[in-house]
């Protein structure tokens, strides 16, 4: 297993370096000048140039990239242009809020998606199949900004049983914190949970057709033992692979959900950085998103290899 992990690390590092280059240079292609935005519409050209020099924007692009990368490696990413605060502090505070939201959404997606997927894989009644398939299609098809607004209107405005937005005390006061977390976590979890359900049901159907399952049925194994002891474990590797991708989707969807529910996380911070043309903050946030996605994929591959030794032997 250690050899398998070590073989995966170089490719992950290469992907991260390529992503850093793409992020850095793509941002420079966007219209607008951060120095002009900071100086204001009535600023003179001399003032704009002075700001550009102070921010290091008058340096060659390669030099700017090396300075930025060196700051990332040394743990000193610099200060935000528009928020005038250390980027490490801003990212640390917002990242904790996003992790709280993403974990809540992931738990809901795993619980709901696994239950619906299991039922889709074992239930044979046509009406139940139609109902469950319709629920998963709805979860995938409805955009988060639509489901988010609907939940706010129903539970936050009409019935007033949950806060319509903002962030609570978090884990320090769970009794109050879950009320703020529930609606945004549900909205964020819907597409991921529906996708997990679809893949789990499809994988279970394929596993049920395998010879060793048919042998178990012929030997008279109880259905519950057969499903939970053999069908579900052998159906998990494809689901874990798609789950790694869906965690990346959770981070992308968090930008919209955090905006709808006024949740002060990485999504809100990234929106401020992009609209304010804050190169450093935008670059750091995008690179963190890529890093999280790479780590999740690496962990997913490791779990797949642990569950199925054939994968580990094939890629060794």
Number of neighbouring beta carbons within 10 Å of residue 192: 26
Contact 110, 244 (CB under 8 A): no
Q: Mean pLDDT, to the nearest integer, of 212-219?
A: 80
pLDDT for position 236: 85
Closest CA to 22 of 266, 289, 292: 289
pLDDT in tens, 67-92: 999 999 998 898 998 888 999 999 99
Rg (CA), the chain: 24
Q: How would residue 107 be classed by pLDDT, with cut points 50, 70 and 90?
A: very high
- The DSSP result for the chain, as a single string, is -HHHHHHHHHHHHHHHHHHHHHHHHHHHHSS--HHHHHH-TT--HHHHHHHHHHHTTTS-HHHHHHHHHHHHHHT---B-TTT-SBHHHHHHHHHHHHHHHHHHHHHHHHHHHHHHHHHHHH---HHHHHHHHHHHHHHHHS-HHHHHHHHIIIIIIIS--S-SSS---GGGGHHHHHHHHHHHHHHHHHHHHHHHHHHHHHHHHHHHTSHHHHHHHHTT--HHHHIIIIIHHHHHHHHHHHHHHHHHHHHHHHHHHHHHTT--SHHHHHHHHHHTT-HHHHHHHHHHHHHHHHHHHHHHHHHHHHH-HHHHHHH-
- At 254, the pLDDT band (50, 70, 90 cuts) reads confident
CATH of segment(s) 89-275: 1.10.3720.10
Q: For the chain, what percent of residues have pLDDT higher than 70?
A: 95
In whole angstroms, give the CA distance from residue 2 to residue 220. 40
Mean pLDDT within 214-243: 82
Domain ranges across the chain: 2-74, 89-275
Cα–Cα nearest to 206, from 214, 215, 218: 214
Q: What is the mean pLDDT of residues 179-196?
A: 94
Indicate the pLDDT class of residue 113, thresholds 50, 70 and 90.
Answer: very high
Mean pLDDT of 157-178: 83
Whether residue 314 is predicted with pLDDT greater than 60 in this model: the reply is: no
| pTM (predicted TM-score) | 0.85
CA 137 – CA 278 distance, rounded (Å): 38
Position with higher pLDDT, 249 vs 98: 98
When mean pLDDT is compared across 133-137, 217-221, 272-276, the lowest value belongs to 217-221
b/e map 71-110, b = 16+ CB within 10 Å: bbeeeebbbbbebeeebeebbeebbebbebbbebbbebbb
Say yes or no to pLDDT of 230 above 60. yes
Mean pLDDT to the nearest integer, 171-187: 85
Distance of CA 94 to the CA centre of its chain: 14
């Amino acid at each position: 297993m250690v050899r398998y992990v070590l073989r995966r690390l170089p490719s992950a590092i290469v992907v991260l370096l390529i992503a850093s280059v793409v992020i850095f240079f793509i941002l420079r292609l966007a219209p607008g000048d951060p120095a002009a935005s900071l100086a204001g519409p009535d600023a003179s050209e001399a003032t704009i140039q002075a700001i550009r020099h102070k921010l290091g924007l008058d340096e060659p692009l390669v030099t700017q990239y090396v300075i930025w990368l060196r700051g990332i490696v040394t743990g000193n990413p610099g200060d935000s242009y528009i928020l005038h605060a250390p980027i490490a502090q801003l990212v640390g505070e917002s990242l904790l809020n996003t992790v709280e939201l993403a974990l809540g959404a992931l738990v809901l997606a795993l619980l709901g998606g696994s239950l619906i997927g299991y039922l889709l894989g074992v239930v044979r009644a046509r009406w139940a199949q139609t109902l469950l398939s319709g629920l998963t299609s709805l979860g995938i098809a409805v955009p988060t900004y639509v489901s988010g607004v609907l939940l706010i209107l129903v539970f936050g405005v009409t019935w007033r049983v949950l806060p319509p937005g903002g962030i609570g005390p978090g884990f320090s006061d769970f009794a109050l914190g879950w009320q703020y977390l529930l609606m945004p976590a549900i909205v964020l979890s819907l597409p991921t949970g529906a996708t997990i359900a679809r893949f789990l049901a499809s994988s279970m159907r394929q596993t049920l057709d395998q010879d060793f399952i048919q042998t178990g049925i012929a030997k008279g194994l109880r259905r519950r033992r057969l499903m939970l002891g053999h069908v579900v474990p052998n159906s998990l590797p494809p689901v874990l692979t798609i789950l790694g991708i869906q965690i990346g989707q959770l981070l992308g969807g968090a930008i919209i959900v955090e905006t709808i529910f006024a949740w002060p996380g990485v999504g809100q911070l990234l929106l401020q950085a992009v609209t304010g043309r804050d190169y450093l903050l935008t670059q750091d946030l995008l690179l963190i998103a890529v890093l999280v996605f790479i780590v999740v994929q690496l962990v997913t591959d490791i779990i797949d290899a642990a569950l199925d030794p054939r994968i580990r032997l094939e890629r060794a």
